[in-house]
Amino acid sequence: MTRRPAPRVVIDDASRDGRVDVDGLLADPGVEIVVCCGSGGVGKTTTAAALALRAAEQGRRVCVLTIDPARRLAQSMGLTELDNTPRPVEGVRGTGSLDAMMLDMKRTFDEVVERHASPEKAAQILQNPFYVALSSSFAGTQEYMAMEKLGQLHAQDATPSHDSPTRRWDLIVVDTPPSRSALDFLDAPERLSSLLDGRFLKLLLMPAKGPARLLSAGLGVVTGALNKVLGAQFLTDLQTFIAAFDTLFGGFRQRAEATFALLQADETRFVVVAAPEPAAMREASYFVERLAGESMPLAGLVVNRVHVDDEAGITAAAAQTAAERLRGTGPVEDVTADLLSVRADRLAVAEREHHQRRAFASAHPSVPTVAVPALAGDVHDLDGLRQIGDLLAGVSTD
């Protein structure tokens, strides 16, 4: 039987009761990056924004990198006016500051090309149809560019002067892309850099001379077949793109490796986010194990939108039985039966969710967890984010 790796969990005294010490995490000056990860649709963006706001209002200089915020959440942070550049969020209380940005995948890719290629090569690449398709919609590009942007933000100084460099932000909170699988965030950069550094693409550039002549002759047969399948113009665009991009191949892999090392560093913490549903909790479990395998530090698990059984005295089965007995015996009794049925359904949901959380805790007993109750509505302003921050930190919001 394969032994699953034990998570590299960062535990301090406040976390030893099994709950994530959110305020301790955000207050630790040694923590410079917090990465919120998990499968799509589990509330990563809201969690990242709430953590960033709470840290800023506790005195830190924070930048939150969001990927795909809901419209109301974006409006609450002023993101409707923002682009690929961090800009200040208005309304932050306390002595800290909060900048926010929404990742523009293509613009980030363009910036990489412009920074690392000559002006002539950059113009040639940016206008190439294959590059336009790759930078806009290729699977894994968004995840790779999120890591590129994280590396840029972490290296950014507060002032143009480098005599005594100080980072512009002392905490960066990252909302990972809304991938179908949480593992895509770690896997996609490797896939993309492998594509850009792949042997097949470099074969297309191999000169037809010297020892390569024979191979190039065989390659001509292959490219001829590709011309028939893909079209001559497609292959020409691809070859032109690779020729212009050749000097950047190694840089993509090198920066991906550097950012991957940053994610393994002691100044980074991962917060895995899930919903109390079987698929999301399985993803969370896989991701915890993957983080362990990659030696990446885990702060804990956030389970969002939990239905809490906050009333005692009746079980789901008893409520449903009472509803069935009352139904049809009179108008008042029918209303009571409906209320009991609703109560039974709520209790059943809470019980199923509790089972999911208990199963995770059993499989990963060392991982601190915090459950965030489901709210009546969406978060659409900073007060809503403050409420989420309080719930994450275990502070009563009554």
Domain assignment present for 259: yes
Q: At what angle do helices 141-155 and 249-264 cross, to 10 degrees?
A: 70
Phi (first) and psi of residue 306, to 5 degrees: -85, 135
Co-location of 303 and 326 in the same domain: no
Rg, the chain, Cα only = 26
Co-location of 113 and 234 in the same domain: yes
Residues 28-61: pLDDT tens digits?
999 999 999 988 889 999 999 999 999 999 999 9
Residues 201-255: pLDDT tens digits?
555 555 433 444 433 444 444 445 444 444 556 667 776 777 777 667 667 778 8
Residues 355-371: pLDDT tens digits?
999 999 999 999 999 99
Q: Which single residue is written with the structure tokens 């509330």?
A: 43
The total number of structural domains that make up the chain? 2
Residues 205, 243: Cα–Cα separation, whole Å: 7
Q: What ranges in 231-368 are assigned the alpha helix state H? A: 232-245, 249-264, 278-293, 316-326, 331-363
Domain assignment present for 228: yes
Mean pLDDT of 301-319: 77
Phi (first) and psi of residue 378, to 5 degrees: -75, 155
Residues 176, 185: Cα–Cα separation, whole Å: 7
Domain assignment present for 349: yes
The confidence band for 346, taking pLDDT boundaries of 50, 70 and 90, is confident
**Model pLDDT, residue 299:** 96
The confidence band for 285, taking pLDDT boundaries of 50, 70 and 90, is very high
Instruction: Residue 284: give the domain boundaries.
Output: 13-307+374-393
Mean pLDDT of 52-75: 88
Residues 6 or more apart whose CB falls under 8 angstroms from that of 324 comprise: 337
**Model pLDDT, residue 212:** 41
Residues 6 or more apart whose CB falls under 8 angstroms from that of 120 comprise: none
Co-location of 100 and 242 in the same domain: yes
Co-location of 239 and 361 in the same domain: no
Mean pLDDT of 124-139: 82
Co-location of 116 and 128 in the same domain: yes
Domain assignment present for 7: no
* 222 compared with 378, residue with greater pLDDT: 378
**Model pLDDT, residue 230:** 44
Residues 74, 48: Cα–Cα separation, whole Å: 12
DSSP H or E stretch at residue 396: none
Co-location of 175 and 71 in the same domain: yes
pLDDT at 194 over 60: yes
Co-location of 87 and 67 in the same domain: yes
Residues 109, 103: Cα–Cα separation, whole Å: 11
Co-location of 281 and 317 in the same domain: no
Mean pLDDT of 287-303: 93
Residue 358: is it exposed, middle or buried by C-beta count within 10 angstroms (0-12/13-18/19+)? exposed
With b for 16 or more beta-carbon neighbours within 10 A and e for fewer, the 141-162 pattern comes to: bbbbbbbbbbbbbbeeeeeeee
Co-location of 296 and 320 in the same domain: no
Co-location of 98 and 144 in the same domain: yes
The confidence band for 321, taking pLDDT boundaries of 50, 70 and 90, is confident
CB of 314 within 8 A of CB of 342?
A: no
CB of 363 within 8 A of CB of 381?
A: no
Domain assignment present for 4: no
Domain assignment present for 5: no
Q: Which of these, 30, 27, 53, lies nearest to 379 by C-alpha position?
A: 53
The CATH number of residue 279's host domain is 3.40.50.300
Domain assignment present for 18: yes
Domain assignment present for 318: yes
291 three-state secondary structure: helix
**Model pLDDT, residue 229:** 44
pLDDT at 129 over 90: no
The region, left, alpha or beta by phi > 0 then psi within -120 to 50, assigned to residue 130 is: alpha
Structure tokens at 98: 């909060």
Residues 113, 116: Cα–Cα separation, whole Å: 5
Co-location of 315 and 292 in the same domain: no
Co-location of 320 and 273 in the same domain: no
Average pLDDT of the residues of the chain:
80
